[in-house]
Chain A
Amino acid sequence: MVTELFAPALYETLFPAGISRYAVGGLLVGLGAVVIYLGTGIPAGASTFLESTLSYVSDQSRFQRYRASRDWRIVFTLGIVAGAAVYALTFQSGLVSSGLYESGTTGELREVGGFTLWLTDVQPWRLFLGGILVGIGTRIGKGCTSGHGVCGVGSASKTSIVGVVTFLIVAIGTAQVVMALGVSP
């Protein structure tokens, strides 16, 4: 096991929630992308949905270029929402448990009709302002964490690897500054 590669104290410091939920979740994210790729040949990313969906309401040429894929991108996004909801109805609600799943302590849990919803404590202004920058940056930068990070890196694309390194370094710097300024949650 990976656990034995580290001294226990170091492992506990680096991975306070263990690694299995992350590794299993990551493998499933990759599997989802592979299922689509295998059947259709499409290496899908999540952020194009933003622009392709805007083509329904705006005639701008940047959005209209995604007309051909806009319907299946909505289905892909609905699938992501539904898949996360299946997780919420099972593991998050405690109806299913596994030694590979660590439930965690972040955010706020709310019981609704026997199921457990999870809500973030991160302030709305951070989500909204951050969201605007994510919307601009992923589209100008040709991809996000799934397009560049999962499919692009999986394709050994130099562009994607440079993209991932860029947004990771900048995001770490930003999050560190935000923390140093005492902004929390």
Chain B
Amino acid sequence: MNGNRHPLFMPLIFVGGLIFGFGLGFSHMARPEVVLNFLQFTDFGLLFVMGGAAVVTGIAFALVPRLLERAPLTGDTYGRRLKSFDRNVLIGGGIFGVGWGLSGICPGAAYASLGVGNVTILWALAGMFVGAYLQGYWRSQRAGSTAPASAD
């Protein structure tokens, strides 16, 4: 995959991230307080952020595969984001929920929060790397000792 990418691949990823991050800033999702206000039922605006975003991706993910054969910058066919279901979805979702409810911050919003000037969010980013490392280390060790590993 590396080496022979289309020259516009990286610029397009950056522009997509730019729009994505601007949206997180504009919607105040980069502010943990506003996310906590939703979770504590004092401002339900977050529903419009997640809903608005999912409507846009929903339309695109349904239409684009019918209109175009392959993605111009990768030559890949268009698929949907489908992941297999197992109890990890519930366990991981539950752990994420506790962290999100405690801090009011999720990964994309944390990156955006840094962009709006919130250096305090480095605490959350450091925590996310620590957490991702802990689970990755644990799961790598387990996969190594009890092959064959479950595919997920």
What residues of chain A have their CB less than 8 Å away from a CB belonging to chain B?
14-19, 21-47, 49-51, 53-54, 58, 60-63, 68-69, 71-72, 75-88, 91-92, 101, 104, 106-107, 110, 112, 115-122, 124, 126-160, 162-164, 166-179, 185
Q: A28 near B134 (CB under 8 angstroms)?
A: no
**A-contact 0/1 string along B51-80, CB 8 Å cutoff:** 111111110110010001011111011111
Q: How far is the CA of A146 from the CA of B81 in the complex (A)?
A: 11
Q: B43 near A25 (CB under 8 angstroms)?
A: no
Q: How far is the CA of A79 from the CA of B49 in the complex (A)?
A: 19
Residues of B within 8 A of A88 (CB): 25, 115-117
Q: How far is the CA of A33 from the CA of B37 in the complex (A)?
A: 25
Q: A14 near B23 (CB under 8 angstroms)?
A: no
Contact of A76 among B17, B42, B68 (CB under 8 A): B17
Chain A contact residues: helix, strand, loop or mixed: helix
Q: A135 near B97 (CB under 8 angstroms)?
A: no
Q: B86 to chain A: closest CB distance in Å?
A: 9
19 A-B pairs besides A30-B54, A126-B104 with CB distance below 8 A are: A14-B43, A17-B34, A26-B49, A27-B52, A54-B133, A80-B111, A83-B25, A84-B112, A84-B113, A91-B25, A117-B117, A118-B117, A120-B33, A139-B92, A139-B136, A141-B89, A154-B55, A171-B100, A176-B41
- Of A75, A128, A140, the most chain B CB neighbours within 10 A belong to A140
Q: Which A residue's beta carbon lies closest to that of B1?
A: A68
Contact of A174 among B76, B101, B118, B129 (CB under 8 A): B101
Residues of B within 8 A of A31 (CB): 19-20, 23, 56
Residues of B within 8 A of A77 (CB): 17, 111
- Of A32, A141, A156, A159, the most chain B CB neighbours within 10 A belong to A32
Please name 5 pairs of A and B residues whose Cβ atoms are closer than 8 Å in the assembled complex, sorted by A.
A26-B50, A28-B23, A84-B25, A127-B123, A169-B97
* A62-B140, A140-B91, A176-B39 known; A27 vs B53 contact (CB < 8 Å): yes
Chain B contact residues: helix, strand, loop or mixed: helix
Q: B136 near A80 (CB under 8 angstroms)?
A: no
Q: A157 near B98 (CB under 8 angstroms)?
A: no
Q: B57 near A83 (CB under 8 angstroms)?
A: no
Q: Which residues 102-137 in B have Cβ within 8 Å of A in the complex?
A: 102-121, 123-137
* A37-B78, A49-B107, A110-B117 known; A29 vs B20 contact (CB < 8 Å): yes
Q: B52 near A30 (CB under 8 angstroms)?
A: yes
Q: A107 near B31 (CB under 8 angstroms)?
A: yes
Q: B101 near A46 (CB under 8 angstroms)?
A: no
Q: B64 to chain A: closest CB distance in Å?
A: 6
Q: A149 to chain B: closest CB distance in Å?
A: 5
Q: A160 near B127 (CB under 8 angstroms)?
A: no
3 closest A-B pairs by beta carbon, nearest first, are A79-B17, A141-B92, A131-B127
